[in-house]
Each structure stands twice: as structure tokens, then as C-alpha cells.
Amino acid sequence: MRSYWFWLMMLGTSWAMGLFQLSLGIGELPMHIFGSALFFGLFFLAPLVRRIPVLAFLNLLVMAILAILIFWPEAETAFNPYPLLIFTIIAGKTVYRLSTRETVAIGAVLLGGALMYSIVGDWGLTPLFILLYGLLVSAALVFFRKSYVLEEELQERNEALLSEYRKMKRRLLTDEQAARQEERTQIARDIHDSVGHKLTALLMQLEVTRLQAEGEDAEQLQDLKLLAKESLEETRNAVKALKHDETGGVTAIIGLIRKLEAESFLRIQFSIKHGALSAPLGNDQMVIVYRGVQEALTNIMRHSHAREAEIVFEMPGGSVFRFIVSNKTLETTAFHEGFGLASMRERIEQAGGEFKAGPENGLFIVKGSLPLIVKESGLE
């Protein structure tokens, strides 16, 4: 976008100076103003038709013909160098926008116009000079086109490699989780098959022995049976826990955000204040926190040139969980919440929390807080 305005400024300056050199009369002025307006109208239209090859070619062809006609020299007029600059800029846009065949066609039109200028006007420039100048510009534009095509190919390769890297990163994380879960399942199966069965057999033997015993021995065997039964129940609970994924709470949120970091090439600095790691977040609250952080990071990738962000988890007072996502910003315009942030505000406020987003001291900060369910101790 910056290069577009630069070339527009160069073209506008050359055009204005070229018209000034023509020394137009009153009768010629309206036609030249109309032609100039039509030329720059087509210039502004060029980005809109760049994806339609035929329209892009016709657009630049008409611009080249208009430039030749508007700056057509009168007989025995002084040399006007600015049309050559204008022709060169048009040729550069042609190389950037069109195919090789279409570029050659418009280049021939521009070169023919420059040659006619040298013949009709009293410029003091021979057609040979115009040809040499055209060859020099053509060589420079060919070199530029090759560099541009090479850059485009490298960009496509980089995007393909980046996509493949992200797929491999996701596959690695998935395989790692699957391997870890398989290992936990195997451990749970071994505990169930060995310790669980032996405790069950022990319970049966204790019951048989208790039925045969009398008095104090029977009571002791009953206590041993209860102890063995509790051990069996704890073993079963441990087996169930091993069969399920171990992540939860803030730890799960951190894992998900780290995965997002790997896929988006953001450098994320985590700060976890005291107590935040063990915050008793419910499932709905975990989803809200994760989606809030995800939305903030997505906004950074879309709207900010920064590739670094800081995330803070804290639990002030032990009754509120708060997340803060911040990144450096250079924006000075007024901030308006988009759909994503507005939706996040609604979700957090529906959960009884508070949400704030906006620029502050050179940073863009997204901050959300959720109330925690604190278990009562039972003391009055």
C-alpha cells in the first residue's frame, strides 16, 4: 500500500510538470484536463481489475494511449522530459501487473509514442537515443520481473513449508498425547489385572476367615476387611484417573495456548501469579478463559505488526480469576470493539465477570475476570 501511494505521487508530480511544460492555450486546457481526469480514474481503477487479465490489459493500454495523446508535442516545441518518466512508470506497472506477452505489447505502444515524439517535436533527441533508452528501461524491467517472480515463488514455498510445519507440529502434539495416554492406559490395565485382582482375592479370603473366627478375632478380621476394601476402592479410582486425560484447569488452558503459539508463530510470555495455577475453574469458565485469550491473540495476528504478547494469570484475593493479554501497539486512532471482542464481553458478563479491552500506555490490553466458587470451610 505504501508503494502504491509513492508511485501515485511520482506519477502525479511528473504529470503536473509535464502539463506545465506544454504551455497550453485556453482552448486546449479543457481537453487536457478531461484526459488527465480519465487517466487517473483508470489508474485508481487498476487495483480493482488486476485479477481479471483482460480488463487489466485494456486498462493499462488505454492509460498508455491517453498519456501519448495528452503529451503529444507540437512542431518545433522545446524538449519535455516528463512524458518519458510517465511512460517509464506505466511500463513498470505493466511489468508488475501483466503477463510477458501483454507487457511487450504495451511496451511497444509506449516506445512507438516516444519515437514519434522525437520525430515530430524539436526535442534534439534522435530516435536512436530513444531506442537505447527503451532498451535500458526494458533490461531493468526484465531484471525486476525475474526478481519479482522469484520472490513470489519463494513466498509460495515458504507458505507451503509453513503449512507443512504446522501440520507436523499438530501431528507431533497429537502423537505425544496419544503415546502418553496409551502409556497411562497400560499402567492402569496392569494395576487392575495385578493389584486389583489380588485385593479382591484377599477380601474373599478375609471374609471366609472372619466367618470361621469368633470373638475378638472376628472383629479384627472385619477391620482388616474394611481396610482391604478401602484399598481396592482407591485402586479402582486410580485406574479410572489413569484412563482419562490428566490435564485440567489452568494447566489445560496453558497447553491449548502453547499449541496456538506453535501454530501462529507468536512469542508468548506467560506470567502465572501465586495461586492462579490451582484456581478452581469450572468447565464453562475454562472455555471462556481459553476463548478470551484465543480471541486476543487472533486480534494481535490480524491487526498488529507485533509478534510478541504477554499473558498473565492471577487470582487476586483468592475469589477472582483474572487473565490479561497485552502487546505493544503504535495505533493512535480511536478504538472500536469488533464482533469477536464484543461476543467475549457478553460471555464473560453473562458468567458474572468483567471484561475490558483497549489501548493503554502504548499497549493494547485485553483483560477479563471471572468469580471463583470458593468452598466454605464449615466453620461459623
pLDDT (tens digit per residue) in 56-100: 999 999 999 999 998 888 766 677 888 889 999 999 888 888 888
- Inter-axis angle of helices 53-70 and 100-120, nearest 10: 10
Q: What is the third-level CATH fold of 250-371?
A: Heat Shock Protein 90 (3.30.565)
- 180 to each of 141, 170, 237, how far by Cα in Å? 57, 15, 19
- β-strand partners of 269: 310
CA atoms of 242 and 183, how far apart (whole Å): 9
Q: What is the pLDDT of residue 46?
A: 86
The answer to whether 356 and 367 have CB atoms below 8 angstroms apart is yes
Listed by start position, the domains of the chain span 1-123, 177-245, 250-371
So what's the pLDDT on residue 187? Answer: 77
Q: What is the pLDDT of residue 331?
A: 66
Tens of pLDDT along the chain (380 residues)?
A: 567 788 888 889 998 888 888 777 777 788 888 989 999 999 888 888 888 889 999 999 999 999 999 888 876 667 788 888 999 999 988 888 888 888 999 999 999 988 888 887 666 678 888 889 889 988 888 888 888 888 888 988 888 888 787 778 777 767 776 777 777 777 777 777 777 777 787 878 877 787 877 777 777 878 787 887 877 777 777 666 655 554 555 666 677 677 666 666 677 888 888 777 777 777 778 888 888 888 888 787 777 777 788 889 988 877 889 999 988 877 666 677 787 888 888 989 998 899 998 888 888 889 999 888 654 433 33
State the pLDDT at residue 376: 44
Helix (H, G, I), strand (E, B) or coil at 289: helix
Residue 21 contacts by C-beta under 8 Å, 6 or more apart in sequence?
78, 80, 82
Task: Determine how many CB atoms are found less than 10 A away from the CB of residue 368.
Answer: 27
